[in-house]
A = this chain, B = another copy of it.
Amino acid sequence: MQKLTNEELGRPDLTAYQQIKKLPIILILDNVRSALNVGSVFRSADAFRIGKIILCGITAQPPHKEVLKTALGATSSVPWEYDKDTLSAVKKLQSEGVKVYALEQVQESISLEDFLPQLPATAIIFGHEMDGVSQEVVDLCDGSIEIRQEGTKHSLNVSVCAGIVCWELHKKLSHLQQ
């Protein structure tokens, strides 16, 4: 089992990637504290052809040094924008017909494996490392998605959560061609 070289992997370069049709998925980072986590989310979004990232509140923006450290260039390939206020970002998306879901452990949440992305687009909000998505943002959402877990800890790392969500939604939308 020979490991594949970069050439054999056939990854698109930046120009080719920008021409590829992205998945109708938007990631919203609601006051994510760690810039390293933000960079890691960019890297996952690049790998799974995510449409856009919206950075809100205290979430660090490129070209923050620690974002670049873990994004490894994905801040150039993944479209992103900044909105100081998460509530207004959510309202704007909803006014455009986008369905918005919090990734949160709430009453009546939908388990990630059962969640079907909505068209024309679906946005998923990931929250602060300690506080999660704020209750007032959750209240505004069209629903909540939960990654069921069985361990001693309250939750998973936020960039790991984003990676799992990207993986699962990418699988479910794999019929949408590039």
Seen from chain A, the residues whose Cβ lies within 8 Å of a Cβ on chain B are 1-4, 6, 9, 11-14, 17, 20, 36, 40, 43-44, 46-49, 70, 72-74, 77, 102, 104-109, 113, 132-133, 135, 138-139, 141, 143-144, 147, 149-157, 159-164, 167-168, 171, 178
Take A147-B167, A151-B47, A152-B74 as given contacts and tell me if A139 and B1 are in contact as well, using a CB distance cutoff of 8 Å: yes
Q: A64 CA to B141 CA in the complex, in Å? A: 40
Determine the distance from Cα of A133 to Cα of B4 in the docked complex, in whole angstroms.
12
Count identical subunits in the complex.
2
Kindly state the separation between the CA atoms of A152 and B2 in the bound complex, as whole angstroms: 21
Question: CB distance B9 to A105 under 8 Å?
Answer: yes
Q: Is the pair B14, A152 in contact by a Cβ cutoff of 8 Å?
A: yes
